[in-house]
Chains A and B, each alone.
Chain A
């Protein structure tokens, strides 16, 4: 049998061979990217080691409920663009019947879908939109090959070799990571936590104070005799950081138990060592504030010490990584900053950090951020590697103001990817005025181009949420911060006047002539 021929009875798509582009992964990132590529007519293969769609949601979160909400009832109609702001879990489809799939799969007990509901949502998306994946095909290693027709990546898989000019890795950030603290390798990682009831009556020590640690502590509250959570720096709470960095409100119960002296201890200390002592463990910590080491005798310890990106041999190929999650360093368009032609989609795209203005990260690590990144990436790949012309929609001069006001009020891309994605309208003397769609803000600021205005929604650590515009005029870009609004309604007369004035700076007539002020 020649390589590339499927064994008899194997009706899986994409047998090994040469493809213009190969996507690795069948979680939300891989599915969204493949869907968007197909809409653009870009031929590609998708391979996945898993037997079915879902990625990490086939297994986690451990306690089987998500941290990302979907509101069954919201201020916007299901299936509209505006509704996406309230639905963090559905993937994006252009066909109305394939939008907001998550809402139809929830049982009404919580606005956080259960893990199985989320898995069903992703399976439904793949089935209904016809995203094809070669399941059970494990990417194992990678090399480069120079052929007569140019450079190729060769992906060796459990099924054979795939050759492609462009490879996109949407492989998640789900490889358990354990720091080399002495003895920490003797205890299970979050990924290997046992069913909660097996911890009944035990003294439990959890290493790590991020969401995974607090998720375990929350789930073990009804079972554990005592719980200690420890890591060197203070626990960050999302309600304080005002971002997804920090322990989410759902997992705060152990923290309340701690501050009310109920028996849970939340410590700022580095773990010195963990030693088995007969049937128990001795955990020695050094308080961050100084002082003598403290030892705890416990029955169980769990390393909630995070995950890294499973990049296999990509670093050896030259892919630079950084940070505790070993994320690949990326350009604003999610291309490896050091190996052109290798791209990333899904949660791993958070390695393209953007500006992190006021310290606020983008939501690229979550589905509601990554789904927009994937759609943009598809457009970028199509334009850069497959000569698909970008969509530029001509806009009448009088339309620009109402269009931008509508976008800052309702564009889910701007609301979910704050100070990260921008809606751009270009004002080219030759080409006219055009809606350029969304681009990464870092790209808009640094790549240069014709006169243009870019709209973003941004937030600061004090709780402000407000529109920000960037004016590019004669090659120089300036930032203009607009005021916020108590109800986040940026369609007020004040906002309209401010945007009209900005358009005036670009030489556009402040177009909107409305007789009456906006309602309210």
Chain B
């Protein structure tokens, strides 16, 4: 089986894209670029302009803020959406913990992509809501 077909299938197996019918999944796969990062390589750099939105296909990354590891991300997790949507500079580094393959989309493309794929936007909202709930519980 070839890589392009695999990518569509990979996308379909991630929660973020789970509600997309096949033709839309095909289009979504073509909207992203694949990217590869080696162990210790920085994907997002704190304070640098021009970042993007990333979805992890393989491997893991750590969110590192002020020298401290804040969270570990794995397959299906996404990052970079906060700075992409708010137009702010990343407030943390995201560093590959091992060989990591990602989908990448430039920040300015995220809004039109989400508007064109409300099912992905809904899944993203679900994820953000869960994160908010976790934070609220932790504080409560």
CB-CB under 8 A from B105, the residues of chain A are 359
Contact of A180 among B1, B30, B35 (CB under 8 A): B1
Instruction: Tell me, rounded to whole Å, the shortest Cβ–Cβ distance linking A290 to chain B.
Output: 7
Query: By the criterion CB–CB under 8 Å, are B50 and A288 in contact?
Result: no
Q: What string of 1s and 0s marks CB contacts (under 8 Å) between B69-104 and chain A?
A: 000000000000000000000000000000101001
B24 touches A (CB below 8 Å)? yes
Using A270-B27, A331-B38 as known contacts, say yes or no to A324 and B49 having CB atoms under 8 A apart.
no
Query: By the criterion CB–CB under 8 Å, are B26 and A481 in contact?
Result: no
Query: By the criterion CB–CB under 8 Å, are B36 and A329 in contact?
Result: yes
Using A232-B27, A324-B4, A324-B34 as known contacts, say yes or no to A358 and B101 having CB atoms under 8 A apart.
no
Please measure, in the bound complex, the distance between the C-alpha atom of A317 and the C-alpha atom of B140, giving whole angstroms: 53
Instruction: Tell me, rounded to whole Å, the shortest Cβ–Cβ distance linking B25 to chain A.
Output: 9
Query: By the criterion CB–CB under 8 Å, are A357 and B48 in contact?
Result: yes
Using A286-B22, A326-B3 as known contacts, say yes or no to A357 and B49 having CB atoms under 8 A apart.
yes
Q: What string of 1s and 0s marks CB contacts (under 8 Å) between B13-48 and chain A?
A: 000000001111011011101111010011001011
CB-CB under 8 A from A270, the residues of chain B are 22-23, 26-27
Instruction: Tell me, rounded to whole Å, the shortest Cβ–Cβ distance linking B101 to chain A.
Output: 6
Query: By the criterion CB–CB under 8 Å, are A359 and B99 in contact?
Result: no
Query: By the criterion CB–CB under 8 Å, are B26 and A458 in contact?
Result: no
CB-CB under 8 A from B38, the residues of chain A are 329, 331, 337-338
Query: By the criterion CB–CB under 8 Å, are A232 and B23 in contact?
Result: yes
B5 touches A (CB below 8 Å)? yes
Query: By the criterion CB–CB under 8 Å, are A288 and B34 in contact?
Result: no
CB-CB under 8 A from B4, the residues of chain A are 179, 324
How many residues of chain A get a CB closer than 8 Å to chain B's CBs?
Answer: 42
Please measure, in the bound complex, the distance between the C-alpha atom of A458 and the C-alpha atom of B26, giving whole angstroms: 31
B118 touches A (CB below 8 Å)? no
Among B30, B31, B42, find the residue whose CB has the most chain A CB atoms closer than 10 A. Answer: B30
Q: What string of 1s and 0s marks CB contacts (under 8 Å) between B94-132 and chain A?
A: 000001010011111100000000000000000000000
A412 touches B (CB below 8 Å)? no
Instruction: Tell me, rounded to whole Å, the shortest Cβ–Cβ distance linking B68 to chain A.
Output: 16
Contact of B30 among A233, A331, A359 (CB under 8 A): A233
CB-CB under 8 A from B33, the residues of chain A are 323, 356
Contact of B109 among A359, A446, A478 (CB under 8 A): A359
Query: By the criterion CB–CB under 8 Å, are B2 and A179 in contact?
Result: yes
CB-CB under 8 A from A127, the residues of chain B are none
Query: By the criterion CB–CB under 8 Å, are A288 and B23 in contact?
Result: yes
List which A314-367 residues lie within 8 A (CB) of chain B: 320, 322-324, 326, 329, 331, 337-338, 351, 353, 355-360
Contact of B2 among A180, A338, A446, A458 (CB under 8 A): A180
Q: List 26 A-B contacts (CB under 8 A).
A: A179-B2, A180-B1, A180-B2, A180-B5, A231-B30, A232-B26, A232-B27, A268-B27, A270-B27, A323-B3, A323-B35, A324-B7, A326-B3, A337-B38, A353-B35, A355-B48, A357-B50, A357-B51, A358-B50, A358-B106, A359-B107, A445-B42, A445-B48, A462-B108, A479-B48, A479-B49
